[in-house]
Copies of this chain bind each other. A is one copy, B any other.
Amino acid sequence: MKNIKFDSVKITGGFWQQRQNINKDTTIYSVYDRFDDTGRVKALACDWKEGDAPQDRPHIFWDSDIAKWIESAAYIIKMNPSEKLESMIDAMVDHLAANQWEDGYINTYYTTIEPENRFKNRDHHELYCAGHLMEAAVAYYEASGKRKLLDCMEKYAELIEKIFADDNSAGFVTPGHEEIELALVKMYECTGNEKYKKLAEFFVDKRGYNLKNESSNPVAPHYSQSHLPVREQTTAEGHAVRAVYLYCAMADLARLNGDESLKKACDILFDNIINKRMYITGGIGSTANCEAFTQDYDLPNITAYTESCAAIGLALFARRLQLLSESSVYADIIEKVMYNGFLSSITLDGKAFFYENPLEIPAKHTKLKDTRYPITQRLEVFDCSCCPPNITRFIATIADAMYTQNEEKNVVYVQQFINSEAELTVNGEKATIVQTTNYPYSGEIKIDYNGPATTLAVRIPAWCDSYKGETKNGYAVFEADGKTTLEFNFAMRPIFVEANESVNDDLGRCALTCGPVVLCLEGVDNGEYLKGIKVSSDCDPEFGFNETLGLPTVKMKATRRVHSDKLYAPYTKKREEFTAEFIPYFAFANRGESEMIVWVHVD
């Protein structure tokens, strides 16, 4: 199965066009400005020295921030050429190239601060930074045709191969933070150079074999997925972003090599995540402690960590698995992430970001001393600012994996619903698919195919209970030839969803969903003490519209418990009635500090 890349799909209106416009007009510059303010841009000159402003001292992961920014800007340029953005990228690339070592090494931190210590510390993100620079190099080459950064990274890749695979002379064998593995696959797919794929295999295959510096810390092996050889891993463990980046490379190599044992490991890990360790928003990694997965069904709402990068990584993993199996579950998860756990990570105006995405914000007075709470308002930049440029690159490539194609069986899969025009090749001939829809606010979708005879397999969303036709593996299947029009109307009604009984925090509560969108209550609309609110699953919800947010809402009758002021008192059942207004979860925290709750008590 192959992927139709984002650059073959022009988004022509609706929800994602608005988001991409904000991304290219506002977010990409705002992130650059914050990276400039915080010293990340000027650090590329590698001229910081003791005595200079301490806040400008390069940090071990700054190259990865810059790299993801370059990658994002490249994707934007690909669809909307911009001299301004291109010159900003070029200036960065010039610095990177100028400071590349004779032997190919590139790293702003080590070059500036401690060149004598390169490749000694497994947890110092050098190969992680290298990986992101490789992704940036490929993206920029494909967007602009300029090879400068790609040449640098090819040279750097040679050095990495020599030091790690040939000489085994570094202080460690596999990196503490995965990323280089999937990046080397991209390098291979861009250049056709098999060495990069081999090197990716090297890093994937060596992990978990108790190699040097891999498991010195008793916590560390799980933290960096080094507890077992990757083919023997059956549960998603450790730092969630590292985990899913590793799984992405595993899925890539499974596809490229037809490696069944890797594919099986990927299937088991994906299954563990989506059936045991994922929030209803598609967020993953439930604890701030090591930013990690914890255990099956441990999904606390208030302290949910659910890093934005982890949600993105889960979608990237699902996009890759989608090419290996004929099931709609991957696209369902991608959709869940797109509209919820990912989308919550950015303000509606595109300027500020959540690193963590909690599912509940309690009233201030109920915050507890020993508990670490996530931030409740998005920020423009973080000390560890991996998420903002990850968010821009994900929005820029939102149409990636919208279509996939099995050329052998001549099937085109329609995975996501976005107002757009796509160009693809069917049986060697050009074909187009035009989607007209107001998704995710409406389930009406018109799909106009024009091209040679093929089978169109349209995903019926997992949340949809109104589609009456036949489906296979989650897809409705149609034969198309020439101009063919398909029309769908997936009924988008509010549905209460319950969690498994083992999810302690969601007991007696439901989440309200409407289509792919998870809804929530905010204090600003519903008054204080959201956790005392109860709704009835038999109620008659109505659609509303929130003017301030400019978004549709769902309103329904609800009651709020009225307690005694005492610590303990005879139960009175006293409740006050009011009309609750649910907004899309992704839009919470856009109107100042407020309580918020996804899982609402329900009758």
Contact = CB atoms under 8 A, between A and B. Distances in A.
A465 B601 contact: no
Interface string A313-324: 000000000000
Contacts of A242: none
Contacts of A564: 498, 500
A503 B531 CA distance: 11
Contact of A369 (B298, B495, B507, B565): B298
Contacts of A294: 368-370
Contact of A567 (B500, B561, B566): B500
Given A370-B289, A508-B601, A569 B497 contact: yes
B563 A501 contact: yes
A120 B342 CA distance: 57
Contact of A573 (B287, B502, B537): B537
B508 A571 contact: no
B497 A570 contact: yes
Given A368-B294, A370-B294, A571 B504 contact: no
Interface in A293-309: 294-295, 297-298
B561 A532 contact: no
A217 interface: no
Nearest to A500: B567
B532 A568 contact: no
A510 interface: yes
A211 B368 CA distance: 30
A496 interface: yes
Nearest to A501: B563
A480 interface: no
Contacts of A275: 566-567
Contacts of A537: 571, 573
A601 B504 CA distance: 13
Interface residues of A, number: 52
A276 B573 CA distance: 22
A502 B571 contact: no
Contacts of A289: 370
A278 interface: yes
A354 to B, nearest CB: 22
A501 B561 contact: yes
A366 interface: yes
A499 interface: yes
B368 A571 contact: no
Interface string A540-578: 000000000000000000000101111111111100000
A280 interface: yes
Interface string A500-533: 1111100110110000000000000000010110
Contacts of A499: 563, 567-568
Contacts of A500: 563-568
Given A369-B295, A370-B294, A508-B508, A567 B276 contact: yes
Contacts of A468: none
A602 B567 CA distance: 18
A602 B366 contact: no
A274 interface: yes
Contacts of A497: 568-571
Nearest to A336: B568
Interface in A448-507: 465, 495-504, 507
A84 interface: no
Nearest to A280: B568
A365 interface: yes
B510 A531 contact: no
A275 B564 CA distance: 12
A566 to B, nearest CB: 7
29 contacts: A275-B567, A294-B368, A297-B366, A298-B369, A365-B502, A368-B504, A465-B570, A496-B570, A496-B571, A497-B568, A497-B569, A498-B564, A498-B568, A498-B570, A498-B571, A498-B572, A499-B568, A500-B564, A500-B567, A501-B529, A504-B531, A507-B532, A507-B601, A508-B534, A510-B571, A511-B568, A537-B571, A537-B573, A571-B602
Interface of A: 274-276, 278, 280, 287, 289, 294-295, 297-298, 362, 365-366, 368-370, 465, 495-504, 507-508, 510-511, 529, 531-532, 534, 537, 561, 563-573, 601-603
Given A274-B567, A295-B369, 18 more contacts: A275-B566, A289-B370, A294-B369, A365-B502, A368-B504, A465-B570, A496-B570, A497-B570, A498-B563, A498-B570, A498-B572, A500-B565, A500-B568, A501-B563, A503-B567, A507-B531, A511-B568, A571-B602
